[in-house]
Chain A
Amino acid sequence: MIRRTSISFILALVVASLAVACGSSSTSTKTTTSVAAATAAPSPAATKASGKLILATTTSTQDSGLLDVLVPMFEKESGYTVQTVAVGTGAAITQASRGDADVVLVHAPSLEKKMVDAGDGIERALVMHNDFIILGPKDDPAGIKSAATTSDAMKAIATKGARFISRGDNSGTNVLELNLWKGVNITPKGQNWYEESGQGMGATLQIANQKNAYTISDRATYLAQKKNLDLAILLQGDKALLNVYHVIVVNPAKHSNANVIGARAFAAFMVRADIQKLIGDFGKATAGEALFFPDAGKPDPAP
């Protein structure tokens, strides 16, 4: 009996040590196969790089599924192992400003400008855009459907005291929402109709759905979640609701262990013509409409 227990324990130890040993080698296997695959097909890069690239990005780009298509393509082509961490725009920019990321793909122009001004980011480039929409209960108690502009709609919600769910998480969506309130001189924080979820767009949409409240969402996440929601699109198309994505390279002068070559390669990849076309086509098959609009090289709507 003692032997049976001992054998079980020893077996467990052996399996575990094997597992950890195999675990640490799996990343290197992945890089070798991607290199092999890349050399098999014609590719623009003459020599394959190697090493890790930390891409800090938003939950919306992650949840839309766009990065699940683009990142493996970039990895195969370049040879880098990309560690995509989807943490939300505010967190991504903070992380990059500490030197804990190599490149960021985010959508909060005001925060991005601060990052570049502080010297943490360089070569900020326009990649794509989509738009935000204001969602709410079908019966529209605040009557924002008839609002001429987004400002009017925000004022109507505040005046009526209609329940509004904010992301409250320093994400790109949250930053835009807060700027909209600022634009109409309203301080929603602390008011009893204003609730902050502190979570991602998916969770926030669910809360707004369950509580019959208004909220601002990016179109891509809304389309992905539509089947679970009873909310209606009550306002869209206003220039103020434009959702612009930029890619920023972390400044190697300030953060010496940033992988600037890899970061520049990724930035170049994102604005390349064939990838831009892919971005424009993304979503047409699954959601029936384009989720992102490629913008590289065009005049920057949020410079």
Chain B
Amino acid sequence: MNALSTIHGIVARDLQRASRQKSRMLGGLARPFIWLLLIGGGYGAITRMDGGSYRAFVFPGVVSMAVLFGGMLTAIATVYDREFGMLRLMLASPAGIGVILAGRTLSAALVGGLQGLAVLACAPLLLDAPAGRYLAALGALSLSALSSGALGLLVASRLRSVENFAGVINVVLFPLFFLSGALYPVSGVPSALRAVARVNPVSYQVDLMRHALGQAPEFGLILDLLALIGSSILALALAGAWFDPERRFLASGRGAQR
């Protein structure tokens, strides 16, 4: 009961914060549509994928992109909480760090999931898929959102300050996205990059979405599910160790020597 109440509080707070950061939310919603329009339209003029248009091919990737950016950026915002003391308050709660991370993952997943849902709602305009496919896509979106939240917390646990926040988008988010098979099939890239794509959890998010929407996947469904669940558990376990209050106080210098 205590744990559920704590998770409820964290999720409610994050949703309240998200609802008041309108430009960030609008930016998050607009980003995938801009990509769909510019990348989908631009490459669509020169590229033809097997069995359909490039825009249809790239659509599951753009849904995943909305989920990935929304979820990860919300989770990475934990670094702001650390900078301004709110994380210390959460870590001082009786629920413990595991519950705090579960709450943050869930709230990040909700924000990412809602942004992905806005893109997915446009699927009937681009894809000719039966209703059951959309239900499957909702499931894929939910798991991808949780995975993105967990990855975001892992990144946040290693960030020292909010100044690194912008760099994370260029150094972490874009490489994860570009090497995920969202924009082009990974099977066609050089072997070194293909190896990186295979250990990239986002590859399995995109692939799961392709399974759900009836497109040709690169991996098996079971592998996608296992990879996403396994990488999320690993990310949360590492984040839990790195978010240890002991490390945090020493890292920030606050508390020590005063």
- Please indicate whether A and B come from the same complex rather than being unrelated chains: no
